Amino acid sequence: MDITPKKWELADRLIVLATIVSIGYAVLRYNIAGEVPWKDVPIYVLNKGISLASFFLLVLSFTIGPLKNLGASISDKFLGARKSLGLAGLMLVFVHFVLSITILNPLYYDVFFEENGTLALRGGLSLFGGVMGLVLLWIYNFTFKENFIKASPIIKTLTSKKTISIIFLFVGVHLFFMGYSGWITVHKWQAGLPPISLIAFAIFCIGFFLNIIGRR
């Protein structure tokens, strides 16, 4: 019986690195440089780090192919890592969703709520974008199999460039309404560190643009 530890694949290394860096940045910005109490690390701060890691992995998964189409030198290892990166990103999105629902209240997300405790328009738009993006991601992942793609025109549509663009747009809406007010108040950034929502939105813009011009 071979008990030799298997060598980590490229996707494994990228997933672990993205997760550690994202969570580390969240702790640095909100706990070390900021004033968020350490008791909020297990849910509130961890959730922010996981959200960044999930979005980075998903965008990377969706963008490797278009980059190849645009003439970038992409190795077979990177091309082969797309599925694992996408699955890991989707799993982290589900974790992000569950953690967010757990603490979805005015104490943590005051800009999402009116004074009477009901959802504000901004909160509703952000949540709508996030939920729709999650649903479409799940459908895309479930149907992106060769036998499904050949079986139905509907499945072809669900795995098309148009659907990918719609997923990106819904997630962009979620990110924008989540944190746009904090993007322009640079003087309030803890230790000059940009908000995680702004970093994720910048990744979104790059990924969306590359998919529009490079996806076939």
pLDDT at 186: 92
**pLDDT, tens digit, for every residue of 46-89?**
999 999 999 999 999 989 999 999 988 988 888 889 889 999 99
214 pLDDT band, cuts 50/70/90, is confident
Q: Between 157 and 141, where is the model more confident?
A: 141
3-state class (DSSP) for residue 36: coil
What angle is formed at CA 135 by the lines to CA 108 and CA 64, rounded to 5 degrees? 100
Flag the least confident range among 23-27, 147-151, 174-178, 207-211. Answer: 147-151
Residue reference for tokens 């719609």: 166
Taking residues 123-135, report their average pLDDT: 90
Residue ranges per structural domain of the chain: 10-214
Residue 66 structure tokens: 């278009």
3-state class (DSSP) for residue 115: coil
154 pLDDT band, cuts 50/70/90, is low
Residue reference for tokens 């979805």: 104
Report the alpha-carbon distance of residue 41 to residue 73 in Å, rounded: 39
pLDDT at 1 over 50: no
In the chain, what's the furthest Cα-to-Cα distance?
Answer: 64
Nearest to 54 by CA among 22, 19, 23, 89: 89
Q: For the domain covering 10-214, report its CATH number.
A: 1.20.120
Nearest to 168 by CA among 55, 82, 51: 55
**pLDDT, tens digit, for every residue of 140-149?**
777 665 555 5
Name the percent of the chain lying above pLDDT 90: 55
pLDDT at 16 over 80: yes
Report the alpha-carbon distance of residue 60 to residue 76 in Å, rounded: 15
162 pLDDT band, cuts 50/70/90, is confident
